[in-house]
Chain A
Amino acid sequence: MTKALPSVSRPATPGFATFDETPHSLLIDGDGEPDFGAIQTSDDFLDLKRRVKRFILPATLAFLAWYVTFVLLSAYAADFMSTPLFGTVNVGLTMGFLQIVTTIIITMAYARYSKRKLDPQVDKVRALVETDEELA
């Protein structure tokens, strides 16, 4: 990001507030750089973090658990995995194929969730610093 000049909306001296100054400009420091510490503790950013965590934590745990189950069953329950299901296709091969299917399902679910719940929130956080730069 190019170093923006101090924005026009920023008062020249402390205590001299103008009407067009938004509370958002607090998130930009004196050099016009984003104040990351302030953004990190802003409500909008904390909300974004919560939304990210709400999806990726359970999804990651779920797919890892499902994968490890498959691996452990293959290693220690070979008899169960060799039970025929359709013709010569057995439980193990079916389960393996289902791993691929669930991967696609989680991928598409994440893409959809990001588009609906994460991207708008990212835009909101970005707006905290961008309103000011655009005025500059």
Chain B
Amino acid sequence: MTGANTAINLSVFGIFVLLTLYIVYRASTRNVSASDYYAAGSSFTGTQNGIALSGDFLSAASFLGISGAIAVNGYDGFMYSIGWVVAWLIGLMLISERLRNTGRFTMGDVMAFRMRQRPVRAAAANATLVISLFYMIAQMAGAGGLMALLLDVHSKVGQAIIIAVVGIVMVLYVLVGGMKGTTWVQIIKAVLLLLTVSLLTIFLIGKFGFDFSSILDRATQRSPLGEAVLSPGVKYGASDLSKIDFISLALALVLGTASLPHVLMRFYTVPNAREARKSVVWATWMMAIFYSCTLVIGFGAMALVGTDKITSAPGGENSAAPLLAFQVGGTVLLGIVCAVAFATILAVVAGLTLTASASFAHDVYANVIKHGEADPRDEVKVARITAVCVGVLAIVGGIAANGQNVAFLVALAFALAASANLPTLLYSLFWKRFNTRGTLWSIYGGLTSCVLLIVFSPAISGSKSSVFPDVDFALFPLSNPGIVSIPLSFLAGFLGTVIGGEKADPDKQAEMEVRGLTGIGSGLR
């Protein structure tokens, strides 16, 4: 890419960033109360929130990561798309409405509803912080790869500087905008992303005479793996162990989605449970369209750009979609696709930062440290400080993880969410006897086992594609720990409850069940 092209890229990009910052600024002029900052005063409609929900969820992993994974690994990459669509059924039927009815701002509200407040809130906040951080690290790595491609930066130091700058810009959005500003960025971004992806898909299908089969045909010719890319097993089929890794990944994808803290928090920005349900229906439709398109874009990139060129580009696998855009539409389309991808990352990081900071300020500061008597203004101040700290950590982590496939990194965050949160949420909503000890055991059991297994997995050390390729402390053979840590957390929650501790409070349980299903006592209409 020549210097002139970089200039076009950058200007498309700069305009976009300024425009969204302006919108965030306008949307947030009355961002005063804690409810405004965390939940946008619960003022969004189901439709708006549904679009924002897909904006929150469709991250760099979905756009850059999946299309890259399909463009390189074919069928095995497609697994991500399927898992992330199917997963919404759990959110729809089991979680969203009950969560809206029982909580206010955070996941901790629901987990601590009928338990001892302080330890459970602290645990929920810890889980939220760890999961959000992992997720953000992945997004930062994606942003680094994207900007490296856009500016044609090949050196690791240059890319590290880019990640830092991008990260700072993103934290700014949250500080200025709060939930309302963030939601508007998400709505705009979701619409742009879906439009871009659908148009690109229609164009690709048209180019191949409206015959998906011939895209695949061409793709197999351009891949060094040939016909094998259309079959399962390219990445995960080599041994029995890698097949288990595949199943583990599939489990994490389907169980993690509806327990991601930033997705859960999205159910609070609507006025009531019916709107929350409507949000998920809208989001599911958008996801279904989006992820169907990733299949075409992934194989399209394989067919038109070629696997070799993708893997050797700055940003690696993550650059498949931008390279495809450049191939079919030149610099302008590349600029647009990069701007949309950047917006995607921006919106997701903003949502994550907000969630992490809300969780610390609301659960730890207001409820654990100040015993529920914090000044709401102080709470928002603490939230803003937390946002900065989390942002800095994510930048450092993003620099370390630069070059990894974003979808793969994000799948680790999904495994964490599925381990720490899902068992706890399901037990506390559906199991009468579940008590404080069970809650703590399942949150901490899932969280620590999952973190430890990730640290000692081939994702971190011991193989060429690891974060630290030069050392080897990979004692655990699977790169995604879900298949071990998710059942472990269910078991821990069960044992913790059965073994003893205080009995579940029947009054609180009655209140939670009635309130969860009907909204009585929540003040919601």
Contacts and interface: CB of A to CB of B under 8 A. Distances in A.
Interface of A: 1-2, 33-34, 36-37, 39-40, 45, 48-49, 52, 55-56, 59-60, 63-64, 67, 70-72, 74-76, 78, 81-82, 86-90, 92-93, 96-97, 99-100, 103-104, 106-108, 110-111, 114, 119, 122, 125-126, 129
Nearest to B249: A71
Q: Which 9 A-B pairs have the closest CB atoms?
A: A87-B213, A82-B231, A74-B232, A36-B510, A36-B511, A88-B216, A1-B523, A71-B250, A40-B510
B517 A122 contact: yes
Contact of A110 (B93, B216, B233, B254): B93
Interface string B78-99: 1101110110111011100000
Given A37-B510, A52-B517, A78 B231 contact: yes
A66 to B, nearest CB: 8
A61 B93 CA distance: 12
B31 to A, nearest CB: 25
Given A36-B507, A56-B93, A99 B214 contact: no
Contact of A33 (B211, B288, B295, B521): B521
B434 interface: no
B212 A78 contact: no
A129 B520 contact: yes
A103 B86 contact: yes
B274 A71 contact: no
B35 interface: no
B285 A104 contact: yes
Interface in B221-269: 230-233, 236-237, 243, 246-247, 250, 254
Contacts of B213: 86-89
Nearest to A111: B281
A96 B93 contact: no
Interface range on chain B: under 10, 10 to 19, 20 to 34, or 35 or more? 35 or more
Nearest to B255: A64
A87 B211 contact: yes
Contacts of A56: 93-94
B217 interface: yes
B281 A122 contact: no
B216 A59 contact: no
Contacts of A59: 89, 93
Interface of A is mostly: helix
B514 A63 contact: no
B291 interface: yes
B281 A103 contact: no
Interface in B489-525: 506-507, 510-511, 513-515, 517-523
A73 B81 CA distance: 17
A97 B523 CA distance: 41
* B interface majority secondary structure: helix
Contacts of B246: 71, 74-75
B92 A40 contact: no
Interface string B143-172: 000000000000000000000000000000
Interface string B461-476: 0000000000000000
19 contacts: A1-B521, A1-B522, A34-B520, A39-B510, A40-B510, A60-B89, A63-B89, A67-B86, A71-B79, A71-B246, A74-B79, A88-B214, A92-B75, A100-B82, A103-B284, A104-B288, A107-B92, A107-B285, A129-B520
Nearest to A59: B93
Nearest to A96: B82
A54 B58 CA distance: 32
B189 interface: no
Given A87-B213, A92-B231, A34 B89 contact: no
Contact of A96 (B78, B92, B220, B511): B78
B277 A111 contact: yes
Contacts of A71: 79, 246-247, 250
Given A81-B231, A82-B231, A97-B292, A106 B89 contact: yes
A119 B94 CA distance: 16
Contacts of B250: 67, 71
Contacts of B230: 82, 88, 90, 92-93
A107 B281 contact: yes
Interface in B377-396: none
A75 B243 contact: yes
A48 B518 contact: yes
B514 A40 contact: yes
A45 B514 contact: yes
Contact of B521 (A34, A45, A81, A89): A34
Contacts of B75: 74, 81, 92-93
Contacts of A40: 510, 513-514
Contacts of B93: 55-56, 59-60, 110
Contacts of A49: 517
B518 A126 contact: yes
Given A36-B520, A99-B85, 7 more contacts: A40-B514, A49-B517, A78-B233, A92-B230, A100-B85, A103-B89, A111-B277
Nearest to A108: B281
Nearest to A124: B518
A23 B295 CA distance: 59
A87 to B, nearest CB: 3
Nearest to B213: A87
A106 B94 CA distance: 13
A82 B232 CA distance: 8
Given A63-B89, A74-B232, A111-B281, A87 B510 contact: no
A117 to B, nearest CB: 13
A125 B518 CA distance: 7
B82 A99 contact: yes
Most B-side CB within 10 Å, residue of A72, A75, A104: A75
